[in-house]
A and B are shown apart, each in its own frame.
Chain A
Amino acid sequence: MIQIEKLKKTYRTRGRTVTAVDGVDLHVREGEIFGVLGRSGAGKSTLLRCVNLLERPDSGRVVVDGRDLAALPERRLRAARQRIGMIHQHFGLLTSRTVAGNVAFPLEVMGVPRRERARRVAELLELVGLTEHAKAYPAQISGGQKQRVGIARALAGRPRVLLSDEATSALDPETTASILQLLRDLNRELGLTILLITHEMEVVKRICDSAAIMRAGRLVESGPLSELLTRPGSQLARDLFPLPPAQTRPGATVVDVTFVGDTADRPFISTLARTYSIDVNILGGAVEQIGDRRVGRLRIELPGDPDANAAQLAHLRDAGLTVEVLDAAARPEVVA
C-alpha cells in the first residue's frame, strides 16, 4: 500500500547539512498497522511527511496506493493528498471553527456540496463518538476529543491510508488507550492501512502488526512484530522486555528465552528442570499481550558451562522457543 524506496532527505540550516532520512526502504502492506519507533530527532517525522509530500524528498521514491506522488503535478498531488488521511500530535484543528466545522473543512476543500457535507459530517462524528459535541469549539473539549475530531477530519475523504504523526504523544495513558482502540477499530472495519510514528513502545505493543526502529535517519530493524520479537538479538525485543543486566559467572549458563503464542502456555521451565534434573534459576522476565498474542521473555540460569548445556538448549529450541545464550564477554545492552 505504501512503498518507500531509498528515501533521502537532508536539511540545510545555517550552512550545516543535516540528514534527516538516510536511505530508508519501507513497505506497508494493505490493511496493516505499521509503526515506526524512534526517539525524537531520529527522522521519523520527516519520513512520514515525505509520504504525502509535505516534505519533498531529495531522492528516492514514494508510492502510495499505486501512485508515485512525486511525479504528479501540483493539482493532481492535492487530489491524491485528499485520499491520504493524516492526524497530528498537536491536532492541528482550526480554533475558529466548531467541531462540525473542522470536520467539514476537508469536504469544503474537496468541493463537496453543502447538503452532502452536512450528512457526511454527521456520519463521521457518529463514527468517532462526538455527535453531541458538534457545536463545541476545540478549546472547549479535551485532548482525546480533539484527536477524535482530527481522526474524523482525516477520514472525510474516505482515504485508504492514514498517516499518524505521534497522534497520542500529547495524551494521558487512558486517553491514549482509547484513541489506539479507535484506530484499531477503524483499521479492522474500514480496512484502513495505517502508518504511524511514535516514540512510545506502548503504541507499537498495542496496535501494530509490523514495526520498524528508526535511528539517525535509518531503519535498524523492520518487519512483522511477531517475527521481530523472536529474532535473536532483536533491539525491539530488548526494548519491549527490558531485562536486568546479565550477571554471567563461570560454571553457569545465562539464557534469554523468548516465547510467542502457543509456546507461552506450556510449562517449559518445569519440564526442563524435571527432564534433566537441574535447578533452573529465573533472573528476570516479562510477559505481555502483543496484539492478540501473549509474548514473553525470560532470562534463566542453568548450572554448568554452555558446552555442558547443549542438550538442554536443544530441548528448549525443540519446544519452539527462541533461545539466546549470553556469553561471559557480552555487555548488557542499554535499553532504549
Chain B
Amino acid sequence: MTWDEITPLLRDATLETLQMTWWSSLFTALGGLLLGVLLVLTDRTGLLPVPPLHQVLGAIVNVGRSLPFIILMVAILPFTRAVTGTTIGTTAAIVPLAVAAIPFYARLVETALREVDPAVIAAARAMGASRRQIVGKVLLREARPGLVAGLTVTVIALIGYSAMAGAIGGGGLGDLAVRYGYQRFETGVMVATVVVLIVLVQLIQMLGDLLARRLTHR
C-alpha cells in the first residue's frame, strides 16, 4: 500500500480510537469516582459504615475485573443495545469499554482515597464538617494527585481495550492493525499504527504526570 492509501485509513482509525477512549474515559471517571467513594465510605471504618453494602460493591467490582474484556464485551451485548440501541460500531463499543474500566478505576480511586491522612479527616470532623463536606472538600481534594495518576493509567488501559472493539465493528487503530497489518501482511500499516499508538500513550502519560505534579503540594 502506498502512503496515500494508508493516510486516510490511519486518520479515520485514530479518530475512532480517540472517540471511544474519550467517551469511555469520561463515563469511567464519573462511575469510578462514585463507586470508589462508596467503597471507602461504606467500609467498616468509613464515614458511613454499611459493611454489607461494602461487601456487595466489592464483589461487583471483583467480578467486573475478572472477566477478560473480549468476553465482557459479548456478555453485555443486551445491555449495550438497551443503552445505545445498537450492538455494533464505535458508539456501541463505548459501553463495554466503560463497564470494564469503571471497576478498575474504582479500585484505584479507593486506594487514592485511603492515602488521605486520617488526621485531616479527624480535624474536619472536629470542625463540624458534614459527610458531604468531608468527601468533597477533604477526601476528593486531598487525593487529587492520586486520582489523576489513576485516571491516566485507566485511560491508557482503555486505549488498549479499544483495540478489541474491532470484534464488534468498533473500528479504531487496533482493528486497523489486525485487519491490514496482520491479516493482509501490510507491514507499513502495522508500523504506522504502532507509531500512532505509542505517540498517543506517551502524550497521555505526559499530560497526566504534569497535571498530577501540579496538584501535588506535599
Report whether chain A binds chain B.
yes
Residues of A within 8 A of B (CB): 52, 54, 77-82, 84, 86, 88-97, 105-106, 108-110, 137-139, 150, 153, 156-157, 163
- Pair A109/B117 contact, Cβ less than 8 Å: no
Measured between alpha carbons, how far is A95 from B130 in the docked complex, in Å? 20
Contacts of A163 in B (CB 8 A): 126
A106 and B215 contact, CB distance less than 8 A: no
B128 CB-CB contact with A under 8 Å = yes
Q: Which residues of B contact A153 (CB under 8 A)?
A: 123, 127
Q: What interface size band does chain B fall in?
A: 20 to 34
Q: Which residues does B use to contact A, with CB under 8 Å?
A: 117, 119-120, 122-130, 133, 137-138, 141-142, 144, 215, 217-218
Decide: A94 near B138, CB < 8 A? Known: A137-B217, A139-B217. yes
Whether A88 lies near B142 (C-beta < 8 A) is: no
Cβ–Cβ contact A90 & B128, under 8 A: no
Contact B120 A94 (CB under 8 A): yes
Q: Least Cβ distance of B132 to chain A in Å? A: 11
Top-8 shortest CB links A-B? A92-B123, A81-B128, A92-B119, A82-B128, A78-B128, A86-B126, A137-B217, A106-B127
Q: How distant is the Cα of A138 from the Cα of B141 in the complex, in angstroms?
A: 15
Complex contact B144–A80 (CB within 8 A): no
- Tell me whether A79 and B128 are in contact in the complex, defined as CB-CB below 8 angstroms, given that A86-B123, A95-B142, A96-B142 are known contacts: yes
A94–B120 Cα distance when bound, in Å, is 6
The residue on A at minimum CB distance from B127 is A106
Known: A54-B122, A88-B122, A90-B117. A96 touches B215 (CB 8 A): yes
Q: Is the interface of B mostly helix, strand, loop or mixed?
A: helix
Min CB distance B103 to A, Å, is 27
Known: A54-B122, A90-B117, A92-B120. A105 touches B142 (CB 8 A): no
Interface centre among A52, A91, A95 (most CB of B within 10 A): A95
Residue among B119, B123, B141 with the most chain A CB within 10 A?
A: B123
Known: A95-B142, A109-B133. A81 touches B119 (CB 8 A): no
Cα(A88)–Cα(B117), bound, Å: 12
Q: Are A96 and B141 in contact (CB under 8 A)?
A: yes
Determine the chain B residues whose CB is within 8 A of the CB of A137 once the complex forms: 217
CB distance from B25 to the nearest CB of A (A): 23
26 cross-chain CB contacts under 8 A: A52-B126, A54-B126, A77-B128, A78-B130, A81-B125, A81-B126, A81-B127, A82-B128, A86-B126, A88-B119, A89-B119, A90-B119, A92-B117, A92-B120, A94-B120, A94-B141, A95-B218, A96-B217, A97-B141, A105-B124, A108-B133, A109-B124, A137-B217, A138-B217, A139-B217, A150-B123
